[in-house]
Amino acid sequence: MHALTKVLVVIGAFLSVLLAGLSVAYTANVDSVRDEYSQLKKQITVANALVDDVNQQAAAQRESNVAETSDLRNQTTQLIAELAGLQSENSRLQADVASLHQAASLHAAQIDQFLATSETYAELNSKQSQELGMLRSKELEGARREIALSDRINELEGRLEVSIETSRSLQERIVDLREELEYAKQDGSGTQIQSDTGFLKAPVGFRASVTDVRRDPAGSTLLEINAGSSDNLRENMKLNIVGESGYIASAVVQLVDDNSAIVRVTVLKAGRENELREGNIVLGTL
């Protein structure tokens, strides 16, 4: 065998061993790579499925977003229109506010005028009230004066009546005295039982009380007393009427019954007309 052939055999053997090792390692690595590749392919398939799902969800979401976007655009359009309406309303309201401000200022001026007018009326009312008070005080004073004058007139009327009665009694007394004088001239003697005034004297210790007060149509006052002929009372006897405060009037017996009599008031003390009432004491002498 040639030496070259031997060298070639050795080189071929060495290369064969090296190729075998390389082939083993390469085959094992390729197998691992294939397994890895298979796993990756499966993962890619799963990932693709997930991606498809996500894409479908994204598509649905996109559609819903598109619909929502269209709705939002419609709402935006409506809001823009509403905004325009509100702006016009706002401008109109601002104009109204301005007009109301003007009206308020006008009303304030009118209120000031009304206040001034009311103050004027208040002053007038106060003056009228003062004047009315003065008039009322004057009217009251006049009424008081009228009352005083009426009282004075009544007093004077009472005095006049007393004077009239006194005058009439004096006239009667004059007539009686003239008659007595004539009788005395005719008989030559006077009546012993009559008093100096022409009236009979009441019995000594005579005492009675008034039971009724009447008014004579002629104007004189008649009194009914609880004593009569049983008490030795006779017509034309003079009696005195006494009240709680003392002497009130003088009276003359007009009509005598058994237990009662009617007397006529001849003299009434001034200012004591109203004290003639039931219960007054009737005395023969004071």
Partner 1 sequence: MNQLGMQMPGAQRRRSASLNIYTGLLAVAVLCLLAAVLMVGVQANKVGPADSGEYVRAIQTHGDNPVKLPSN
Binding site for partner 1 (CB under 8 A): 1-5, 8-9, 11-12, 15-16, 18-19, 21-23, 25-26, 28-30, 32-33, 35-36
Nearer to partner 1 by Cβ, of 37 and 114: the residue is 37
Least distance in angstroms from the C-beta of 37 to partner 1: 9
For the CB of residue 9, give the shortest distance to partner 1 in the complex, in Å: 6
Beta bridge partner(s), residue 213: 223
CB 209 within 8 A of CB 279: yes
Considering beta carbons, is residue 34 or 136 the nearer one to partner 1? 34
Separation CA 284–CA 237 (nearest Å): 9
Nearest distance from C-beta of residue 29 to partner 1, angstroms: 4
Of the candidates 234, 237, 240, 235, the one whose C-alpha atom is nearest the C-alpha of residue 207 is: 240
Least distance in angstroms from the C-beta of 59 to partner 1: 36
- Residue (15 or 83) nearer to partner 1, CB: 15
Query: By C-beta, is 8 or 111 nearer to partner 1?
Result: 8
Strands in the chain per DSSP E: 207-215, 221-225, 238-243, 246-256, 261-268, 281-283
CA distance 190 to 167: 24
CB closer to partner 1 out of 2 and 185: 2
Q: Parallel, antiparallel, or unpaired for β 281-283 and 207-215?
A: antiparallel
Shortest CA distance to 202 belongs to which of 224, 232, 178? 232
What is the smallest separation between the CB atom of 63 and partner 1, expressed in angstroms? 42
